[in-house]
Structure 1
Amino acid sequence: MPWLESQVHGLVWVPTTFGLEPRWSFEPDIEAIKQTLQLLRPSSTVEVNFLGQGAFNKLYDVKLDDEMLIMRISLPVDPRYKTMSEVATMDWVHRTTDVPVPSVVSYQSSRNNVIGFEWILMSKMPGKPLAETWRSLSFAAKSRLVMEFAAYSSSLFRNQLRGIGNIYERSPLVENSASTEESAPTREQAEVPVFTSQDTECSARAVPEVSRIVSTQFFWGSHIYQDIYRGPFSSSKDWITARLTLSEYDCHSILAKYPAVDDLDSDDEVEVEDSTRTLRIIGRLRSLLSLVFPSNNPDPEPSIIFHDDLSRHNILVSKGGELAGVLDWECVSALPLWRACYYPSFLEGVPRHLEPNIGRYHREGNGEPSDLYWDHLWEYETTILRDMFIYEMKRLEPGWVEVFNTSQLQRDFDIAVQNCDNELVARHINEWIEDITTGKVNLRSLRDRIDEA
């Protein structure tokens, strides 16, 4: 893949104790960023300061005269597609919901520019992360936030798409860019099929295309080079099969390093044992695919845009607790209804039905209760807020709740696929598979088994 290899320059995958991590082999240059911004606004005064970074991005505070913006420069983990999809996703959420998301000022999905990386210039959202304000917010303010996310979920449910993958603008190669150099579309881009939705609240002209998926499992490490279909997937079964195939590839790659298993050191033995165990789980999951995901409909499966990292760090709120912004729309895919009709991730957690008694917790030197108290209070409050979220969804969108109530088996299967290589979860997965295989009545969910362990 010569084209792909040239596009991932600047990205290095580094082995760590906890697996591979993406790293920058060279840093974006501040002067190149300023030069790019000056081309966009020739008469403006430009200021640029490093703000922080995420797993795949570096963030920069940008001031153009008196306008405050954010520039997000991306590692080429999935060249072109990640940037194009992120821009289309923010636009779609802006058009179909009332959730405040960044507005894109300009972007470049090719690295053929003076910065040398793909980038997005967007508005800077006000507020502070919910993680920093949760302790000081009233429960009433938290309840209002939950109601807003219920309305958001309802809006996306009413604007369903078709097929599983990521969304793109109708003409993804035409973009507002400071660069005049564009790479020609690859053979893969030219031939990839797309699914479009016909029955939505938005006009057909405005509905984005569902096409190639941009997801961490599909580009992590060497996965980006694997010859595997990347969507759009017409069914849940096809999507999950592709994910299991990638996990299988990892196992076979490890086992291929050890053709002789008689003389292995302890670390090598662990690798071989882990891969062998994972392959057995994958085989068992494959045998259940048709049972859990019968694919009788030849049409592409309905899907919804699903932000799977609506954590307290990606939700911005004002001082009074009003929702001010939702961040981090990269790798947000159109997923099947059974997966998308679920709580926002900031509401997930272990249930706690009794309010913690603050008097029973250790006090810090400043008189504040210990972090353990706040953790337990968080679990207690989110237990109540989850019920409030479902109650509001029943009022707004009964169809969403029906999917939610009937999809635990599919969600558990998804958890098993995500964790098939996790030694700590393997026993629970195998016991859950055994119960399904033997037709056990009142099947205990895999989610509960893991949470209660």
Structure 2
Amino acid sequence: MNQPRPLDWVGVEDPWVGVTVDLNALRHIVCEVLRVSATECGEPTAIGLQHQRAYARVYMFKLPGYNVVARLVAPLKPLFKTEGEVGAMDFVRSATSLPVPKVFAYCSEATNPVGVEWVLMEYMPGIEMGDAWDGMTLTQKRRLALDLVDLYDQLSRLRAAGIGSIYHSVYSVDDRNIVVKSIIGDKCHTRYPRSPRWRPLSAESLTLLKTHCSYPVKDGYNLGPLNDISILNYKLSIPSYSQTMPVFTTEEYVRLVSFNGNPTTRSDFDLPTREKFVELFQSLHTLYCDTTVLGPRKAAFGFCFSHGDLHEGNIFIDPQSGEITGIIDWEAAAFRPMWEAVSGVGWFAEDTQRFIYSSEDPENFADDTTEDAKLRAFFRNKLYDRNPDLFSCFYGGIELRAILAAATDIPRPIGQSELFLRRYYYEGYWNEARRGPFPWNMLEWQYKRVYLDRIEMKRLAALSEAASHENHELMT
């Protein structure tokens, strides 16, 4: 019998349960969109299974002279997650030189022949950064470091006045044509490029997008509901699009993701923990009042675009040169505070080396060799040379990111948010000699947690007893 969970655990173990996918229909759509015959289109081949998460299933189709990828989207945050991912890829492709897959067609409504939302896109060459790393030379790693610096720099220059995901602007029922307006000289020009949307949206979906994605970003794009990776956790309650609307300050962002939506989806048992994280973050953030990079004043200068889930499995590289050849999985992309986005990737990420994360002590670069130290110095120096603000966020934002990561953790018994808070306090990370008194009385907080634990244990015991009684009646 499954053990009762805290109230926050109202999601699912596997979002694909009950979903029927028609791969033959998907293959037919590939032929239709790319104008190839059935004899020229190979059978769908599953790829990336060793790293496959439940958010998507990915298949490759071999066509004459090239391959294409179909990403099938799990039914999480219907419509908005797929629209946000496609909007992000198109936006970054149009505004940067970064290697982002081209979208050939997509459908953000599950009511299509495939049975789920899907995105048909360009196949990116290379291999995953994590798989290539151990076999790379120092020269190749230095080239990768330069490309990572360029990646962060280009994304950081894309700004918006608020925090949220990006969506194509939608103006009419005939949304197969996405309207793009541009200013050339003193005149406004309107053009209607062919949309990659496979079929026009239903009236209901169109209304939802027009209602919830109404903050202009730039020509043809609007700001809309945030698809942060922490609030796409399918094992928890996933907040609706109306609970993740754009916010316009860093503290509003921290509150939104800590509370898992607004209104919150956190339980009465877990909410007090999230409230303490918001209080801790606000107290720390105030200490950065004079900086336009890390502090509250940053909002006046806009928020930068970020991938949102940038790890070594989402970056493809050329194993011969170390060059980045592809950046995939843009479902969590959004405008965010720069300090949250610039944390390094894979081996280049230093947060866990320097600060506590969850229950883990800082690694303090204990496994680094002399060559490693030189490579890290190379990355930091190039980051600073390219954009000093990026370096400030990379190095100075470590504590902010650690608190945010703990604040957005899942609840007990698996999550370790409260353990982080206790360690943070008792191991002196606040440093009262420099920062003044800790934001709250930790002893009183711990007493409150004991009281809440007792209430929760009684609730879980009652649920367990009720379930046992029900099973007994069914058996008899």
Counterpart of 1:38 in structure 2 is 31
| Match status 1:215 vs 2:228 | yes
In 2, Cα distance between equivalents of 1:98 and 1:181: 30
Deviation at 1:336, TM superposition (A): 1.0
The offset of 1:425, in angstroms, is: 5.4
Q: 1:301 to 1:111 in 2, by over 3 A?
A: farther
Q: 1:183 to 1:165 in 2, by over 3 A?
A: same
Aligned residues of 1:302 and 1:337 also touching (Cα < 8 A): no
Structure 2: distance between partners of 1:42 and 1:193: 33
In structure 2, do the counterparts of structure 1 residues 234 and 118 end up closer, same or farther at CA, with 3 Å as the change threshold? same
3-state SS of paired residue (2:69)? strand
- Say yes or no: does 1:398 pair with 2:388: yes
How many aligned positions are there? 374
Aligned equivalent of 1:416: 406
2:43 matches 1:48: yes
Aligned counterpart, 1:264: none
Instruction: Pick closer, same or farther for the CA change 1:91–1:193 going to 2, 3 Å.
Output: closer
Aligned match of 2:275: 283
Residue aligning to 2:212? 192
Which residue number in structure 2 is paired with residue 224 of structure 1? 238
Q: Contact (CA 8 Å) 1:110, 1:183: kept in 2 or not? A: no
TM-score, structure 2 as length reference = 0.68
Give the whole-Å Cα distance in 2 for the aligned partners of 1:325 and 1:399: 25
In 2, distance between residues paired with 1:182 and 1:239? 31
Structure 2 CA distance for aligned equivalents of residues 130 and 220 of structure 1: 24
Q: Distance in 2 between matches of 1:107 and 1:97?
A: 22
- Cα distance in 2 between the residues matched to 1:384 and 1:298: 32
Q: Is the 8 A contact 2:406 2:416 kept in 1?
A: no
Counterpart residue type for residue 383 of structure 2:
M
1:206-285 to 2 correspondences below 5 Å: 208-221=221-234, 223-224=237-238, 229-246=243-260, 249-252=265-268, 275=269, 278-285=270-277
SS of the residue aligned with 2:44? Answer: strand
Partner of residue 407, structure 1: 397
Distance 1:69 1:425, change over 3 A: same
Alpha carbons of 1:194 and 1:438: their partners in 2 closer, same or farther (altered >3 Å)?
A: farther
Structure 1 residue 100: Cα displacement: 1.2
Is the partner of 2:133 in helix, strand or coil?
A: helix
1:400 is paired with a residue whose SS is: helix
Residue 183 of structure 1: how far off its partner (Å): 4.6
The AA in structure 2 aligned to 1:313 is: G
Q: Distance in 1 between matches of 2:313 and 2:369?
A: 17
Task: Give the gaps of 5 or more residues in structure 1.
Answer: 1-11, 15-19, 198-203, 253-274, 353-374, 444-453
5 Å-filtered alignment, 1:328-347, equals 328-347=329-348
CA distance in 2 between counterparts of 1:13 and 1:105 reads: 32
Q: Is the 8 A contact 2:344 2:394 kept in 1?
A: no
Q: Does 1:428 align with 2:420?
A: yes
**TM-fit CA distance, 1:182:** 2.9
Q: Structure 1 residues 329, 300: closer, same or farther in 2, change over 3 A?
A: same
User: How has the CA–CA distance of structure 1 residues 404 and 397 changed in structure 2, closer, same or farther, with 3 Å as cutoff?
Assistant: same
Q: Which residue of structure 1 aligns with residue 306 of structure 2?
A: 306
Residue 190 and residue 420 in structure 1: after superposition, are their counterparts in 2 closer, same or farther (change >3 A)? same
User: Which secondary structure state, in structure 2, belongs to the residue aligned with residue 55 of structure 1?
Assistant: coil
Deviation of 1:240 (Å): 1.7
Which residue number in structure 2 is paired with residue 94 of structure 1? Answer: 93
Task: Kindly state the Cα deviation for residue 378 of structure 1 after the two structures are TM-superposed.
Answer: 7.2
One-letter amino acid matched to 1:251: S
CA distance 1:347–1:24, change in 2 (3 Å): farther
Give the superposed CA RMSD.
3.4
Contact 1:104 1:123 in 2 (8 A): yes
Q: Which segments of 5 or more consecutive residues in structure 2 lack a partner in the other structure? A: 1-9, 177-194, 287-294, 355-364, 437-476
Q: For residues 70-117 of structure 1, give each alpha carbon's deviation from its aligned partner in whole angstroms, at most 9, with x where no partner exists.
A: 111111211111111111211222233332121111111122321121
The alpha-carbon deviation at position 123 of structure 1 amounts to 1.0
In the alignment, is the contact (CA less than 8 A) between 1:84 and 1:168 conserved in 2? yes
TM-score, length-scaled by structure 1:
0.72
CA distance in structure 2 between the aligned counterparts of 1:63 and 1:404, rounded to whole angstroms: 40
